[in-house]
Structure 1
């Protein structure tokens, strides 16, 4: 039998249902793989000891894990920050409840950028995550632990969060598939907020089919989340036919110009050719609003973060500074000592753009531009069914490179942040390797509630190619066999 960790989540689920693999064997395989890889990639913050599980769902008994900003009852949830200490929630996030009911087996909580603020998973209080393809490289962020764990075969799928590309970009850097669903289709109840109008949870897995199976479980209206959408859910996996005849694909010329690595451009355009060979039509068009997406995103995200993170004060929960004179001093010292530099930077920027005299000039203007960006995408989807873009301008950077140049790190999000601003679904799929052997990802973008369309297009591409089946242990990873 193929080594279990090289199976997709659905393949392992099928083997469990047939009895070819027992739930205990699957869990043991996950534990052994975590023990073999954790010292290298640091993908986990907390490893738990769950019981084997079984059931009738397609994913029952399949080991998985959650990003450490998703609340799990009685299991440490730290957001990779000192300020939360050993905080253990008294409740589960809605996605956790749903997956448990479907027979999911969570083996732990995954490392990330502190409070999901970063694009490399290096700002964690628990140390940086390393890319399984090359341990000298970053895995992307902020869901870097999730992408690294799936790529290394430590879990068969993971749930991450995406505020500006935090599922899709690490999926691209680590050679796996990552899906940000339409905003509101997955409940945010139990997700520790970064920027509430942009945050969305979604799956990272080997294939588009795996992502569809997970989304079939976790999507749906939730009365505990006022932003969740009512509607008909389910059927994403069963709708994956791979038939893309007549699908209209738009290539935004503004996403393929200056600043994009030539090897990435070639690999992403090859996705268009594969889909074209299966009956899709491909056309280039202009999307000039791309010029404004990064500043608009960071103004809005940091403004919301400065509000959301005000709850961490050393009083209610988490870590508290020891020597203080009064309540104000407690707040100041706890936050000074508890937050990392990137979180402080974003809180300060957010407080500035919301302050008297600057609110209209920055925050209000950013909201107006956000509306224009959404309008531009709505206009594009009147002509096209799917948009195809790169996920990031480069492949995985070396550890330390991005932290020394925060502006460069922010600009690396240029292709992913528009979807969060517009509330659109997007999926990152592996589409090649660069000359250094690092994975390249392509992004398929759909209209609001067009999750099934992009999943089917991604599935069609994966029927024709094997990039999503590649494993880092088939090559030298950072100079040694994993």
Structure 2
């Protein structure tokens, strides 16, 4: 493995600007690493060799002219949910076969405007529906981490499993991802990387394939907190094409790192102490509390009483929005088309062949809860619960709490094709138990690697912030990172 692929974004940025390395050299090192490792990890579904080399050469020209952008020459992987003009964009689904967009998502356009280089498109759960990256039409992604003394392949988390695996395995300097119920933070925790889901509206959703429109939000997965801050600065923007994007200045998130957290009030919610929670998760959480206290923060116990209703409410709201959003995939205009005797048969056969099992399950759930006679009983009630969850957070923040510290996941990564998970979808959904409240309330949340379990697998802690106060999360997350250290998997691929 080239030492160039081990550089953080911050380090690579300094070396590129110092002309110690060229963007072409850095990009070639990543392409070589991808070609060698991807057959084993399955993190990329498309590698854009020629496009990456052309973009890197253009970056070198701008660097030579003193016109470098904020991410000039930095090679990134892009989740297959983001539209990339003329490049494979299928949301991990068979139903979008051969779809090549004629437009660019706002998030990726922002990255290219700042000089970033596209290495390719990253694998993901189909339409972002999954917590393990096993629902992809392109097969499961493998976690670069393995338990000590074991050859068992582990999931990287989902739905942004390709993003997390590629970052952890040094197959890109950083990656775009999306989070609808934990799809940035859970994979980050499973792979020892940093992932931030920003406030709803901080990043434009235009050109990003929709799962649940009131919950989806783009964010980065990176190797450390500083890199995540650098990436979010470029990804975030207001956008006339997305009326849910918010017209607020984008701060210099990197400037928040290293600032003291003395006097910061960190809340610890009692409702997150679950029955049967593994001792390792409890111990890690306590360690995080101690680190924050030692850094000068005030720790306060808080209550978020409606947390227990978040997961069932989420699995009503999200499938309902998904059933509406996925109605557009019918074989008429783009993607897969299966022949039928008439247009109704064509619709039915195309959707039956094009959607995977988990997507079909959620579409049917969503259609059911929106149907006549059930809309008020399920969907309207879930939206009322959502309001109560949001109010819980507002009450806590009104009492002066600056951020909330919780575990990121209830366990470390589990095995691919885990029989318990495969047999019971609800067990899979429980992986999101610590993360869905953040999406329901539209808040920012960051997952930071905080330690290893007894098997040597990474575990993460989550910080939840006030709306549009991502700077606080970077500031506090950096404290955890400095105390815990950084973790990398042993190479087996």
Q: For the residues of structure 2 that align with 1:4 and 1:284, how far apart are their CA atoms?
A: 44
Deviations 1:206-245 (A, max 9, x none): 1111111111112121101000001121311122233101
Q: For the residues of structure 2 that align with 1:12 and 1:40, how far apart are their CA atoms?
A: 26
Q: For the residues of structure 2 that align with 1:266 and 1:217, how far apart are their CA atoms?
A: 36
CA RMSD of aligned residues (A): 1.3
Residue 458 of structure 2: aligned partner: 439
Displacement after TM superposition at 1:462 (Å): 2.0
- Select which of 379, 397, 401 maps to 1:363: 379
Q: For the residues of structure 2 that align with 1:259 and 1:451, how far apart are their CA atoms?
A: 32
Displacement after TM superposition at 1:205 (Å): 0.1
Q: For the residues of structure 2 that align with 1:36 and 1:312, how far apart are their CA atoms?
A: 35
Displacement after TM superposition at 1:370 (Å): 0.3
Contact 1:274 1:461 in 2 (8 A): yes
TM-score calculated relative to the size of structure 1: 0.96
Residue 178 of structure 1: aligned partner: 195
- Select which of 286, 291, 296 maps to 2:308: 291
Residue 430 of structure 1: aligned partner: 449
Deviations 1:14-44 (A, max 9, x none): 1111111111110011011112211111001
- Select which of 207, 220, 234 maps to 2:224: 207
Contact 1:184 1:229 in 2 (8 A): yes
Q: For the residues of structure 2 that align with 1:291 and 1:176, how far apart are their CA atoms?
A: 28
- Select which of 237, 245, 252 maps to 1:220: 237
Displacement after TM superposition at 1:366 (Å): 0.4
Residue 406 of structure 1: aligned partner: 425
Displacement after TM superposition at 1:289 (Å): 1.1
Residue 153 of structure 2: aligned partner: 136
Q: Does 1:232 align with 2:244?
A: no
Deviations 1:166-210 (A, max 9, x none): 000000000000000000010001100000000000000011111
Instruction: Give 5+ residue unaligned stretches, structure 1.
Output: none
Q: Does 1:332 align with 2:348?
A: yes
Q: Report SS of the residue matched to 2:196.
A: strand
Q: Report SS of the residue matched to 1:288.
A: coil
Q: Does 1:386 align with 2:403?
A: yes
Of the structure 1 ranges 230-239 and 335-344, higher mean CA displacement relative to structure 2 is found in 230-239
Q: Does 1:81 align with 2:93?
A: yes
Q: Report SS of the residue matched to 2:451.
A: strand
Q: For the residues of structure 2 that align with 1:265 and 1:304, how far apart are their CA atoms?
A: 34
Is the alpha carbon distance of 1:330 and 1:2 closer, same or farther for their aligned partners in structure 2, counting shifts above 3 Å?
A: closer
Residue 284 of structure 2: aligned partner: 267
Q: Report SS of the residue matched to 1:46.
A: strand
Q: For the residues of structure 2 that align with 1:90 and 1:58, how far apart are their CA atoms?
A: 26
Displacement after TM superposition at 1:286 (Å): 2.3
Displacement after TM superposition at 1:2 (Å): 8.5
Q: For the residues of structure 1 that align with 2:242 and 2:230, how far apart are their CA atoms?
A: 22
- Within-5 A mapping of 1:122-161: 122-134=134-146, 136-161=153-178
Displacement after TM superposition at 1:428 (Å): 0.3
Q: Report SS of the residue matched to 2:479.
A: helix
Contact 1:114 1:123 in 2 (8 A): yes
Q: Does 1:15 align with 2:21?
A: no
Q: For the residues of structure 2 that align with 1:421 and 1:278, how far apart are their CA atoms?
A: 30
Residue 350 of structure 1: aligned partner: 366
Contact 1:219 1:234 in 2 (8 A): no
TM-score calculated relative to the size of structure 2: 0.94
Q: For the residues of structure 2 that align with 1:156 and 1:266, how far apart are their CA atoms?
A: 31
- Select which of 38, 57, 63 maps to 2:75: 63
Deviations 1:349-376 (A, max 9, x none): 0000000000000000000000000000
Contact 2:131 2:183 in 1 (8 A): yes
- Select which of 102, 105, 112 maps to 2:114: 102
Contact 2:106 2:206 in 1 (8 A): yes
Instruction: Give 5+ residue unaligned stretches, structure 2.
Output: 147-151
Q: Report SS of the residue matched to 2:394.
A: helix
Displacement after TM superposition at 1:443 (Å): 0.3
Q: For the residues of structure 1 that align with 2:99 and 2:478, how far apart are their CA atoms?
A: 39
Q: For the residues of structure 2 that align with 1:78 and 1:277, how far apart are their CA atoms?
A: 47
Is the alpha carbon distance of 1:312 and 1:2 closer, same or farther for their aligned partners in structure 2, counting shifts above 3 Å?
A: closer
Q: For the residues of structure 2 that align with 1:12 and 1:405, how far apart are their CA atoms?
A: 44
Contact 1:431 1:440 in 2 (8 A): yes
Contact 1:221 1:231 in 2 (8 A): yes
Displacement after TM superposition at 1:276 (Å): 1.2
Of the structure 1 ranges 170-179 and 394-403, higher mean CA displacement relative to structure 2 is found in 394-403
Deviations 1:98-137 (A, max 9, x none): 1101110010000000000000000001000011002611
Displacement after TM superposition at 1:259 (Å): 3.5
- Select which of 241, 247, 255 maps to 2:272: 255
Q: For the residues of structure 1 that align with 2:139 and 2:170, how far apart are their CA atoms?
A: 21
Count of equivalent residues: 473
Displacement after TM superposition at 1:7 (Å): 1.9
Of the structure 1 ranges 188-197 and 43-52, higher mean CA displacement relative to structure 2 is found in 43-52
Q: For the residues of structure 2 that align with 1:97 and 1:39, how far apart are their CA atoms?
A: 29
